[in-house]
Amino acid sequence: MLTVGGLFSGIGGIELGFEQAGFKINWSNEIDENCAKTFKFNHKHKLIVEDIIKINFKKLQQVDVLTGGFPCQAFSVAGYRKGFDDARGNVFFQICRAIEELPKKPKILVLENVKNLKTHNSGHTAKVITNSLRDLGYSVMWNIFNTSVHTDIPQNRERTLIVCFLGERDWEFDFKKKFSSRKFSDYLPLSRSKTKKNFRELLESQVDEKYYYKQDFYEYKTLKEYIKSKETVYQWRRVYVRENKSGECPTLTANMGTGGHNVPLILDELGIRKLTPRECLNFQGFPKSFKFPDNVAQSQRYKQAGNSVTVSLVKRIAEIIKKVI
């Protein structure tokens, strides 16, 4: 059975997708204590709750696949030159350190980030990432996936996934030969799934009244003015309301639970309400069995769901990886 190690794991969405595709998870790493609570509540494998800088990867079990949804930060020329010697350096270089320190280099890397990573810092960030991974012996493919296109979940969520295979740099040609494309995103169907869910299928049947907006809410009149239909998902952008006429959920974000910004809203028989944290997990493809522990605050639940990946998308990518190797 192919094995996986996870970095910057959050609540373990990437690991769960690989697990559903038949991979074994050997270990994961996450620094955030709140994410660790949710992770441990739902996963059985080893979680290292530690700053990645402090991890000795030489002592960890070997894995075939190394994954990570790493933070997006600017790369300075000085930081790139200092590389691993600079403890304050970009966390991406810690991924490179992990690759070199593990007993053997992983056969495959799957790295997730925001859609605009490739243009971040005028393209310098992508250049450093690509060159660093190629120097370590990997073929590097950049792909942008959208949850609403590549899965049956109606969330408009575009993300960059960098898929790398250990081997010669002309591996892209071999991949093209096998799959008639050098991009994973081309191999996955770009048309909508015939089994696309209606967003209402992902809503809870009973919702606590605390998720509903009351008339004393300072912007209640604005919400009531714009939110008229029960057949769409709206987005509260702090100063205005935007209707998603496609019937899809807007991109879930980490700050959904910290104020009025980027909050998905719906209208039902009882009034105007925000999506619940459980519903946010549904829009990220998490199974019903995945739960938040009671000691994780509501704001943290929204943050964790918004920061996660779409599990069903990761599962599809993992299934393709199994075909390749």
pTM for the predicted model, two decimal places: 0.88
Highest mean pLDDT among 167-181, 240-254, 257-271, 286-300: 286-300
* pLDDT score recorded for residue 272: 96
Active site residues: 72
Contacts of 135 (CB under 8 A, 6+ apart): none
CA distances 178 to 21, 48, 129, 134, 274, Å, are: 21, 37, 26, 21, 45
Task: Name the strand (E) or helix (H) holding 60.
Answer: none
Name the band, by pLDDT with cuts 50, 70 and 90, for residue 177. very low
CA distances 130 to 162, 164, 197, Å, are: 9, 10, 36
pLDDT at 56 > cutoff 80: yes
Q: What is the pLDDT of residues 74-131, one digit of tens each?
A: 555 444 444 434 444 478 999 999 999 999 999 999 999 988 888 888 888 888 899 9
3-state secondary structure of 274: strand
**Structure tokens, 163:** 């898929």
Domains parsed from the chain with CATH numbers? 3-195+308-324 (3.40.50.150), 199-306 (3.90.120.10)
| Angle value at C-alpha 17, between 261 and 188, nearest 5 degrees | 90
Name the band, by pLDDT with cuts 50, 70 and 90, for residue 191. very low
Q: Work out the average pLDDT over 33-39.
A: 98
Radius of gyration, alpha carbons of the chain: 20
Conformational region of residue 110, where left means phi above 0, alpha means psi within -120 to 50, and beta covers everything else: beta
Burial class for 285, CB neighbours closer than 10 Å (0-12, 13-18, 19+): buried
Point out the least confidently predicted range of 42-46, 123-127, 153-157, 258-262.
258-262
* pLDDT score recorded for residue 82: 47
HSE toward the beta carbon, residue 95, CA cutoff 13 A: 30
* pLDDT score recorded for residue 254: 87
β-pairing, 271-274 vs 261-268, is antiparallel
Adjacency order of strands within the sheet including 108-114: 46-48, 24-29, 3-7, 65-68, 108-114, 158-166, 138-146
Other Cβ atoms less than 10 A from the Cβ of 286: the count is 23
* Largest CA-CA distance found in the chain, in angstroms, rounded: 63
pLDDT at 9 > cutoff 70: yes
Are the beta carbons of 45 and 16 closer than 8 angstroms? no
* pLDDT score recorded for residue 186: 53
**What CA–CA distance (Å, rounded) separates 140 from 120?**
17
